[in-house]
C-alpha cells in the first residue's frame, strides 16, 4: 500500500472557494480603517461539520472586520515566528527538541476567539503558537527557545515546556498523551469551583491511541466534567501516517459514548464556531471531542525532514488549497477590508517585530547554575555555591 494512501488529495485538499461565500448585501466598499468596524459579517464554513451523537453547529459563522483583520495578523505572526525558529535551530541557537506549528495556526487562533483566558488550555510539545495565543510575547518565546532567563519558563523548559498559568495555559508536555489526564483534572477543579469555565486538552493523532486518554475520558464522562478533548489531526505522527497507526482514524468518534465533532482545522472560523459550540456543550453535558483536520508543513520535529513519508506535491498542494493564512487573506481582500499592499506591509512589520524579539532574546542571560535545583527539591533542602568563582552548586541536606 502506498504511503500516500492516507493523504489522498480528496482527503487533504479541500477547495478554498467555499470559505469565500458571503451575503451580497455585504459586497460594498469598505475602507482599510475597517479594523475598528464591528458590524456583523456572516460567512459559511469551508466544509460542513461532521457530528457524532450530537447535532452539528451551523455552518454560518458571525464575524466582523476587526476580528478578520486580527485573525490575519495573529496567524501571520505565528507563521513568521515558526519560520524564524526553524532558522535559529539550524544555527544551533535552539538546542534539544523543537516541534513547529506552521500550517496549524487556525486551531490556536480560532480556539482563542471562542473562549476566555479564564478557560484552561493544556497541550503537547507543539506549543509555541498556543502560548502566543494565550497572550505570551515573542520575546518570552524566543528567550525560552534559546534557553535564556527571559523565557516564559525561565529558560529551563525549552520548546516543549511553555507555560503561562495566569492566562490559563498549563503548558506544553513532552510525554505523548500525558497532558490529557491533566486537562481532565483541570476540568474537575473547574466543576468543583462552579466557575463556569472549561478546559481544552489538546493532543495529536499519534497520541490518540494512548490508553491514558481513554481512561481520562471515561472518568470525565462519568463525572460530566467540562472538558473538551481536541485532537489536532495533522495526519502524521513521528514519521507515521495515521492509517498505519489507527484502525479507526475517525478520532471524533473515538469516545463512543461521548459526542464528537469533526472540524476543518484549516478554517479559523470553523474552529471558532466548533469551540464555541463545544464550550456550551461541556458546561451543560460534560465532555466532547473535537477532531481538527489540520496539517503541519514542517516535519514532526526538526530532526525529521518531513518528506520521506509524504510527497512534496502533497505538502505544496495543501499550501495552495487549504492554507489557513491565505484563506483569511482572501476573505479580507474579498470584503475590501484592506488592500493587498496593506497586508504585505503588515507582514513586513511582523517580520521586523520577530527580528527585534530575537535580537532582544539573544541579549537575555543564561540561567544561573543554581537554577538547576530550583523547583526540584522539597522544601528544607538547601543549595550551596562553591568553587573558585562560586558558580558550582550542590544540594545541602538540612
Is residue 266 domain-shared with residue 394, that is, in the same domain?
no
Q: Is the pTM of this model over 0.85?
A: yes
CB atoms within 10 A of CB 395: 12
Q: What confidence tier does 29 reach under pLDDT thresholds 50, 70, 90?
A: very low
- Residues 6+ positions from 3 with CB-CB distance below 8 Å: 241, 309, 310
Task: Find the Cα–Cα–Cα–Cα dihedral 180, 185, 187, 189, rounded to 10°.
Answer: -160
Q: Can you give the pLDDT at residue 91?
A: 97
Q: Can you give the pLDDT at residue 375?
A: 78
Tens digits of per-residue pLDDT, 265-322?
999 999 999 999 999 999 999 999 999 999 999 999 999 988 889 999 999 999 999 9
Is residue 52 domain-shared with residue 160, that is, in the same domain?
yes
**Is the model's pLDDT at 68 over the cut of 70?**
yes
The fraction of the chain above a pLDDT of 70, given in percent, is 86
Is residue 356 domain-shared with residue 388, that is, in the same domain?
no
Is residue 324 domain-shared with residue 375, that is, in the same domain?
no
The domain tally of the chain equals: 2
Is residue 14 domain-shared with residue 30, that is, in the same domain?
yes
Is residue 174 domain-shared with residue 27, that is, in the same domain?
yes
| Beta strand 199-204 pairing with 227-233 | parallel
Is residue 281 domain-shared with residue 383, that is, in the same domain?
no
Is residue 247 domain-shared with residue 387, that is, in the same domain?
no
Is residue 262 domain-shared with residue 380, that is, in the same domain?
no
Tens digits of per-residue pLDDT, 106-139?
999 999 999 999 999 999 999 999 999 999 999 9
Is residue 300 domain-shared with residue 348, that is, in the same domain?
yes
DSSP states of 361-373: HHHSPPPPGGGGS
**Is the model's pLDDT at 65 over the cut of 70?**
yes
Alpha-carbon distance of 361 to 354, in angstroms, equals 10
Is residue 320 domain-shared with residue 398, that is, in the same domain?
no
Size of the chain, expressed as the number of residues it contains:
398
**Is the model's pLDDT at 78 over the cut of 90?**
yes
Sign of the dihedral through C-alpha 31, 32, 36, 41: positive
Alpha-carbon distance of 112 to 132, in angstroms, equals 10
Cβ burial 2-15 (10 Å sphere, 16+ → b, else e): ebeebbeeeebbbe
Q: What confidence tier does 369 reach under pLDDT thresholds 50, 70, 90?
A: confident
Note down the domain range covering 378: 369-398
Q: Can you give the pLDDT at residue 56?
A: 97
Is residue 160 domain-shared with residue 259, that is, in the same domain?
yes
CATH number of the domain that residue 28 is part of? 3.40.50.970
Amino acid at each position: 500500500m502506498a504511503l500516500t494512501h492516507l493523504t489522498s488529495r480528496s482527503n487533504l485538499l479541500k477547495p478554498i472557494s467555499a470559505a469565500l461565500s458571503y451575503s451580497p448585501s455585504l459586497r460594498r466598499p469598505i475602507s482599510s480603517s475597517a479594523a475598528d468596524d464591528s458590524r456583523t459579517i456572516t460567512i459559511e464554513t469551508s466544509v460542513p461539520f461532521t457530528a457524532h451523537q450530537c447535532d452539528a453547529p451551523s455552518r454560518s459563522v458571525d464575524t466582523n472586520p476587526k476580528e478578520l483583520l486580527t485573525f490575519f495578523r495573529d496567524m501571520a505572526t505565528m507563521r513568521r515566528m515558526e519560520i524564524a525558529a526553524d532558522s535559529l535551530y539550524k544555527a544551533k541557537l535552539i538546542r534539544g527538541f523543537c516541534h513547529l506549528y506552521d500550517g496549524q495556526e487556525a486551531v490556536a487562533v480560532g480556539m482563542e476567539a471562542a473562549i476566555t483566558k479564564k478557560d484552561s488550555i493544556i497541550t503537547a510539545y507543539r506549543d509555541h503558537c498556543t502560548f502566543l495565543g494565550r497572550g505570551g510575547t515573542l520575546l518570552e518565546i524566543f528567550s525560552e527557545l534559546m534557553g535564556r532567563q527571559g523565557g516564559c519558563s525561565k529558560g529551563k523548559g525549552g520548546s516543549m515546556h511553555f507555560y503561562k498559568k495566569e492566562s490559563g495555559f498549563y503548558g506544553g508536555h513532552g510525554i505523548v498523551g500525558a497532558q490529557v489526564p491533566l486537562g481532565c483534572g483541570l476540568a474537575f477543579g473547574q466543576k468543583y469551583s462552579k466557575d463556569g469555565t472549561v478546559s481544552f486538552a489538546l493532543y495529536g493523532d499519534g497520541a490518540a491511541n494512548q490508553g491514558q486518554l481513554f481512561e481520562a475520558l471515561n472518568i470525565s464522562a462519568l463525572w460530566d466534567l467540562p472538558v473538551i478533548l481536541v485532537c489536532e489531526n495533522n495526519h502524521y505522527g513521528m514519521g507515521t501516517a495515521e492509517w498505519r497507526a489507527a484502525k479507526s482514524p475517525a478520532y471524533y468518534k473515538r469516545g463512543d459514548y461521548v459526542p464528537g465533532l469533526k472540524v476543518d482545522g484549516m478554517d479559523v472560523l470553523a474552529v471558532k464556531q466548533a469551540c464555541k459550540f463545544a464550550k456550551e456543550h461541556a458546561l451543560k453535558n460534560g465532555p466532547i471531542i473535537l477532531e481538527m483536520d489540520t496539517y503541519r508543513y514542517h516535519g514532526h520535529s526538526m530532526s525529521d525532514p518531513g518528506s520521506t513519508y509524504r510527497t512534496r506535491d502533497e505538502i505544496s498542494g495543501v499550501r495552495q488549497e487549504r492554507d489557513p493564512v491565505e484563506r483569511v487573506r482572501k476573505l479580507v481582500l474579498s470584503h475590501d477590508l484592506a488592500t493587498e499592499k496593506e497586508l504585505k506591509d503588515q507582514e513586513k512589520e511582523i517580520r521586523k517585530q520577530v527580528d527585534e524579539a530575537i535580537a532582544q532574546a539573544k541579549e537575555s542571560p543564561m540561567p544561573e547554575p543554581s537554577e538547576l535545583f530550583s523547583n526540584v527539591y522539597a522544601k528544607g533542602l538547601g543549595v550551596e555555591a562553591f568553587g573558585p568563582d562560586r558558580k558550582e552548586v550542590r544540594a545541602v541536606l538540612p
